[in-house]
Amino acid sequence: MKLGIVGLPNVGKSTLFNAITQAGAESANYPFCTIEPNVGVVAVPDDRLKFLTDLYQSEKTIPAAIEFYDIAGLVRGASKGEGLGNKFLSHIREVASILQVVRCFEDSNITHVEGSVNPLRDIETINLELVFSDLEMVEKRLQKSEKLVKGDKSLLAEVDLLKKIHSTLEEGLSARSLEYDEKELEILKTFNLLSMKPIIYIANVAEHEVSNEGADNPYVQQLRGFAKTEGAEVVVICAKIEAEISELEEEEKAMFLEELGLSQSGLDRLVQASYSLLGLISYLTAGPKEVRAWTIKNGTKAPQAAGKIHSDFERGFIRAEIVAFDDLVNCGTYAAAKEKGLVRLEGKEYVVQDGDVILFRFNV
Ligand code: GDP
């Protein structure tokens, strides 16, 4: 799962990204992740893994992970090829969701590219570049579809949708600010619009503001108000503090967070917000060799969930032996859960739930 970090220069992107790579999960555990200089892999915090590791005396514990991409280089005019322009935009096309870092801290020593701190203007600057890029794409597609629809009426829905999006983009608004029915959403997937990507705004606040989530910071209030109009989320962090936290050992980290009056690091909150934004859940596999969390989309059926482990598991899927994590905790052991009939056999149509502890049966 890839998330792209964007934002204007000097808002704190690199500071946050350094915190991410410092805190980063050991890449050796994640052979499926492409490790490049601009990619950071972060473990998804999950207390359930510790219980399972103790229960099975497992040799290895592998949390679910999220990949963060540092997509630097966005400036005003990117969609017209300024700066890294188009290269930057093509990177955004590849991510599942966008994390936009927004400067909400005042610091006269750190120049702002636009001369002053102003989150709404900064967001507009970035979002407009995405909107312009989409506008170009939508116009091209509309031209083509309007020609083709004369001979192929099945394209009518697409033409209507393109027109609807076009007028919104022309107003400078993101495609995600519109509402769509299911059929439209199906068509939309094929467009891969940048301004349709789910977004989290990261309010980067000053060190002393982080303990109450920037409640007294007017910039954060403005940001929250704007995010609401898009149905987007806001996560308040202090990138500088995150960078400090990421250098600490687990125990020191807990103490430091307590001193700050926080129960979780900003990074952990960010990972969780990303997880819920993308509609993700984790199922678990457990044994003496390894305890592991696997990321799936909410609504995934058992064979496809098995396919996350290996494509053979999906192809040869027979059934899944499942116990809900809470049932396992209440019973104490797998055997006890089985005795109580809480280990279920589920077939191809079963929709996997968050926290299902699963053993897949399959043919090779
Ligand atoms: P980028 O250009 O968006 O990658 O921004 P940087 O991460 O390089 O940050 C620009 C400057 O702002 C650096 O000098 C950082 O130390 C500083 N900075 C970043 N986050 C914070 C913060 O939360 N508070 C303060 N006071 N300074 C910060």
> What are 83-96's pLDDT values in tens digits?
556 677 888 888 99
Judged on CB neighbours under 10 Å (0-12, 13-18, 19+), 306 is buried
Q: Which atom of ligand 1 is nearest to the CA of 204?
A: 23
Start and end residues for every CATH 3.40.50.300 domain found in the chain? 2-44+64-110+198-277
pLDDT-based confidence at 72, cuts 50/70/90? confident
pLDDT of 291-320, one tens digit each?
A: 999 999 999 999 999 999 999 999 999 999
Q: Is the CB of 18 under 6 A from ligand 1?
A: no
Report whether pLDDT(55) > 80.
Answer: yes
Report whether pLDDT(101) > 90.
Answer: yes
Start and end residues for every CATH 3.10.20.30 domain found in the chain? 299-362
349 CA distance to ligand 1 centroid (A)?
49
pLDDT-based confidence at 213, cuts 50/70/90? confident
CATH 1.10.150.300 for the 126-195 domain, yes or no: yes
Report whether pLDDT(329) > 70.
Answer: yes
CATH 3.10.20.30 for the 299-362 domain, yes or no: yes
Report whether pLDDT(104) > 70.
Answer: yes
Q: Is the CB of 105 under 6 A from ligand 1?
A: yes
Looking from the CA of 206 toward its CB, the CA atoms found within 13 Å total 13
CA geometry: angle 355, 358, 360, nearest 5 deg: 155
How does DSSP classify residue 32?
A: T
Task: Please report the pLDDT score of residue 9 as a whole number.
Answer: 87
Report whether pLDDT(79) > 80.
Answer: no
Task: Please report the pLDDT score of residue 91 as a whole number.
Answer: 85
**Candidate CATH numbers 3.10.310.30, 3.50.50.60, 3.40.50.300, 3.40.50.2300; the one for domain 2-44+64-110+198-277:** 3.40.50.300
pLDDT-based confidence at 231, cuts 50/70/90? confident
How does DSSP classify residue 351?
A: B
Task: Please report the pLDDT score of residue 112 as a whole number.
Answer: 80
Give Cα separations from 214 to 123, 224, 301 (angstroms).
18, 11, 40
Calculate mean pLDDT across residues 64-74. Answer: 83
Calculate mean pLDDT across residues 159-174. Answer: 96
- pTM, whole model, 2 decimals? 0.85
pLDDT of 26-47, one tens digit each?
A: 555 555 555 566 888 888 889 9
pLDDT-based confidence at 352, cuts 50/70/90? very high
pLDDT of 249-297, one tens digit each?
A: 888 999 999 998 888 889 889 998 999 888 999 999 999 999 999 999 9
- Whose C-alpha lies nearest to ligand 1, atom 18? 12
Neighbours of 298 (CB within 10 A): 13
How does DSSP classify residue 37?
A: T
The b/e string for 249-283 (b: 16+ C-beta within 10 A; e otherwise) is eeeebeeebeebebeebbbbbbbbbbbebbebbbb
In the chain, which ranges are E strands?
2-6, 39-43, 60-62, 65-70, 97-103, 199-204, 233-237, 280-286, 290-297, 317-324, 344-346, 356-362
Q: Which atom of ligand 1 is nearest to the CA of 7?
A: 3
Task: Please report the pLDDT score of residue 256 as a whole number.
Answer: 93
| Residue 12 is assigned to a ligand binding site | yes
Task: Please report the pLDDT score of residue 195 as a whole number.
Answer: 93
pLDDT-based confidence at 25, cuts 50/70/90? low
Start and end residues for every CATH 1.10.150.300 domain found in the chain? 126-195
Calculate mean pLDDT across residues 51-77. Answer: 88
| From 15, 38, 202, 209, mutation site for ligand 1 pocket: most ligand atoms within 8 A of C-beta | 15
| Residue 299 is assigned to a ligand binding site | no
Report whether pLDDT(169) > 70.
Answer: yes
